Amino acid sequence: MSQSLSFPAHARAILRLGLPLIGSHLAQMSLHVTDTLMLGWYDVESLAAVSLGGSLYVIVFLVGSGFAWAVMPVVATAAASGQDRQVRRVTRMAMWLSLMFTALAIPFFLGSEPVLKAMGQAPEISALAADYLAIMGWGLFPALQVMVLKSYLSALEHTRAILLVTVGAAVLNGFVNYALIFGNWGAPELGVRGAALGSFIVAAASFLALALYAVRATPEHALFNRFWRPDRDALWRVFSLGWPIGLTSLAEAGLFSAAAIMMGWIGTIELAAHGIAIQLASLTFIVHVGFSQVATIRTGQAFGRRNLTDLKHGALVTGALAGVFALMTVVMFLTVPEFLIGLFLDPDDPDRAQVLSVGVGLLAIAALFQIADGGQVLALGLLRGVQDTRVPMVIAAIAYWPLGLGAAYVFGFTLGMGARGIWLGLVVGLGVAAVLMTLRFVKRGLRVAAG
């Protein structure tokens, strides 16, 4: 057994690994913000179409990303135990599965217009959204490969390279969108198709950059040598770990989508306030996702070394650092809510006061969100580190849907609490998931790691 680290050493290692990951997530989020801003400047119909099409794309993308997420714990464990061949096998087969998943998804993207119309969407918006998805479907090929390479490099602690590539992608996205959406610099004016084509170009460039870096920085893995050779054992390993991760992500994304629909039943003001509050909560959640990935990597490494002390101490320190950040955001949401909500509103908007009133109440509940949401995603990361994904999927499905969504409906409509009630329901679902997944890690995850 390797020598265990001290608590300060754990903290330094976690921050050295986590800060670039958090930065790369924020840069990735800026890609979507740029698309939204530029299409909003282009015209309202294009913005609505991409909002509609993008919501469907994200659902498919999250499910497909499960195979990429499965790479992280397996590679971290294999690398820590000196199994270079297993690192190569698992990463390759994750790329295979991602390619196969995309091939299955392409027909849906190409034939999405009838589906959108059947959902009751306006014909002109459905047509624009279908144009967007037809291109984005092909973009799923490089996008999921990027996710696999990011997980591979993260597990090997090459997180600075991921940060640099993602920041570069964000800058490139801005230039490409400016050219292709509006027809600047001699480029054709393509509107929503320009946004989709820009995303494809950025994803392809990101894949090439990460692939070249992987070849040069990790030659011992010979990642792309004889790439065409199948490996049934590794393929099954990634598949068995990856599909529950994809469905877990789908369950959480579906919970928030359903909450937005219920908020729309109440009124436009409430839906607008909900959208702003969710944006703020999402920005802070990105940090917790970074800590979750660190938890997966550090736990996977300790698991590979069979060092139970490091596994326990790493989990405690990661939880403590995430908890400190959660408390900081709780204070911010409770002390300056009007300022935060106001950043998203036109000072001359006649509905500003009403949106502020509802939004301030939602941010107060979002303070509870920070603890519940941060806790559940951290516990997920720890469980993935010991390669436990199926039971967490079941916990997520039950906690988010029957409990969380059910509580949101009861609080919001049966008890007449409105928008705040819906958000309290979300807190219930996320809180239950956090408690059950933490107990799962403490009772079974540590026992599995002890071997």
Q: Evaluate whether residue 202 is within a structural domain.
A: yes
Residue at 235 is within a domain: no
Helix H or strand E segment including 128: helix 123-155
pLDDT computed for residue 1 by the predictor: 46
What pLDDT sits at residue 407?
A: 95
**In a shared domain, residues 189 and 208:** yes
Question: Can you tell me the distance from the alpha carbon of 245 to that of 380, in angstroms, rounded to the nearest whole number?
Answer: 9
- Please report the pLDDT score of residue 80 as a whole number: 85
Cβ-based neighbour number of residue 172 at 10 Å: 16
- Three-class SS of residue 89? helix
Are 230 and 96 in contact by the 8 Å Cβ rule? The answer is yes
355 and 385, same domain (yes or no)? yes
> Is the domain of 302 the same as that of 356?
yes
* Tens of pLDDT, residues 57-66: 888 888 999 9
Q: Is the pLDDT of residue 432 over 90?
A: yes
Q: Which two tokens stand for residue 248?
A: 């877990």
Alpha helix segments (H runs only) across 43-111: 44-80, 84-110
Q: In angstroms, rounded to a whole number, what is the distance separating the alpha carbons of residues 218 and 221?
A: 6
Q: Among the three residues 230, 250, 272, which one is the final residue of a domain in this structure?
A: 230
pLDDT score of 383 more than 90: yes
Q: Are residues 223 and 288 in the same domain?
A: no
Q: Are 148 and 95 in contact (CB under 8 A)?
A: yes
- Token pair in block for residue 140: 């799923």
The answer to which of 77-81, 126-130, 141-145, 342-346 has the lowest mean pLDDT is 342-346
Q: How far apart are CA 76 and CA 384, in angstroms?
A: 11
Estimate the share of the chain in helix, then strand, then coil, as percent rounded to the nearest 5: 85, 0, 15
Q: How many CA atoms lie within 13 A of 368 on its CB side?
A: 15
10 Å CB burial of residue 226 (0-12, 13-18, 19+) is exposed
Indicate whether 247 pLDDT > 90.
Answer: yes
Q: Which domain holds residue 314?
A: 241-451
**Claim to verify: residue 278 and residue 365 sit in the same structural domain:** yes
Q: Is residue 219 part of a domain?
A: yes
- In a domain, residue 316? The reply is yes
Residue-wise over 403-433: b if at least 16 C-beta within 10 A, else e? bbbebbbebbeeeebbbbbbbbbbbbbbbbb
CB 234 within 8 A of CB 90: yes
Residue 5: CA count within 13 A, CB half-sphere: 20
- Does residue 427 fall inside a structural domain? yes
- Both 105 and 193 in one domain: the answer is yes
- Measured N-to-C along each axis, helices 268-305 and 352-385 cross at an angle, to the nearest 10 degrees, of 20
Q: pLDDT tens digits for 164-189? A: 999 999 999 999 999 998 889 988 88
Beta carbons of 429 and 404 less than 8 angstroms apart: yes
Same domain, 7 and 60: yes
Q: Are residues 1 and 307 in contact, defined by beta-carbon separation less than 8 angstroms?
A: yes
Query: 34 and 119: one domain?
Result: yes
**Which pLDDT score, from 0 to 100, does residue 449 have?**
56
pLDDT over 90 (residue 94):
yes
Q: Among 160-164, 357-361, 429-433, which is the least confidently predicted range?
A: 357-361
Cα-trace Rg, the chain = 22
- Indicate whether 208 and 352 sit together in one domain: no
Confidence (pLDDT) at 3: 62
Looking at the structure, do residues 250 and 169 belong to the same domain, yes or no? Answer: no
Q: Is the pLDDT of residue 48 over 80?
A: no
* Six token digits for residue 377: 């995603």
Q: Which residue in 373, 391, 386, 382 sits closest to 434, CA to CA?
A: 373
| The pLDDT of residue 146 | 94
Q: What are the start-end ranges of the E strands in 320-432?
A: none
244 pLDDT tier (thresholds 50, 70, 90): very high
Q: Which of 275, 242, 277, 282 is nearest to 261 (CA)?
A: 275
Residue 257 lies in a domain: yes
Backbone angles phi, psi at 138, to 5 degrees: -65, -30
Check: CB of residue 103 under 8 Å from CB of residue 44: no
The token duo for 1 is 């057994």
Mean pLDDT of all residues in 248-273: 81
As a whole number of angstroms, the distance between CA 98 and CA 252 comes to: 21
Residue 208 and residue 252 in one domain: no
Higher pLDDT: 52 or 327? It is 327
Confidence bin at 311 (pLDDT 50/70/90): confident
- Confirm whether 236 is domain-assigned: no
What average pLDDT does the structure give for the chain? Answer: 87
Does the pLDDT at position 447 exceed 70? no
- Residue ending a domain, among 230, 250, 281, is 230
As for how many domains the chain has, the answer is 2
Written as one letter, the residue type at 229 is: R
Tell me the C-alpha distance between 111 and 114, whole Å. 7
Question: Of 200, 230, 260, which marks where a domain is finished?
Answer: 230
Same domain, 344 and 408: yes
325 occurs within a structural domain: yes
